Amino acid sequence: MNNQRYERGLARLREIDGEQGERVIAALADIAPDFGRLVIEFAFGDIYTRPALDLKAREIAVVAALTALGTAAPQLKVHLHAALNVGCSRAEVVETIMQMAVYAGFPAALNGLFAAKEVFAQLDAVQSASA
């Protein structure tokens, strides 16, 4: 069963996050490989594969939650990439982050917006370089 959970989770991680997610897991290899395995099995193998929400709705929820935390900029940036990868528009991402000002405060929303600005700029630079 664990191997199936891992394989299912790894496939979903690749679908959502691509290289971003794989880099996070690889970065854990020398300090906590079991934690990386747990992230793949539980978060992506068990939770992200549930049928009630599509990936776009899940990533909007994750962007909102990480923005509201206000202390998870690296994880937020990974999930901003993921949100765009699964079909969210930049406008939807920005509106989601702005909505968090009501519930998590302006500092958290500002931090989220600056993270989004950085991710958008990175993507624009990559697109410009490949054009």
CA distance 54 to 48: 9
SS3 at position 32: coil
Chosen CATH of 53-131 out of 3.30.1490.20, 2.60.40.1180, 1.20.1290.10, 3.40.50.2000: 1.20.1290.10
Q: What is the pLDDT of residues 7-39, one digit of tens each?
A: 999 999 999 988 888 888 999 999 999 999 999
Residue 93 Cα to chain centre, angstroms? 12
Per the CB < 8 A criterion, the answer to whether 80 and 123 are in contact is no
Q: Whole-model pTM?
A: 0.91
All structural domains of the chain with their residue ranges: 1-52, 53-131
Structural contact between residues 36 and 103, judged by C-beta atoms closer than 8 angstroms: no
The tens digit of pLDDT for each residue in 45-102 reads: 999 999 999 999 999 999 999 999 999 999 999 999 999 999 999 999 999 999 999 9
Q: Is residue 1's pLDDT more than 60?
A: no
Count other Cβ atoms within 10 Å, centred on residue 101.
17
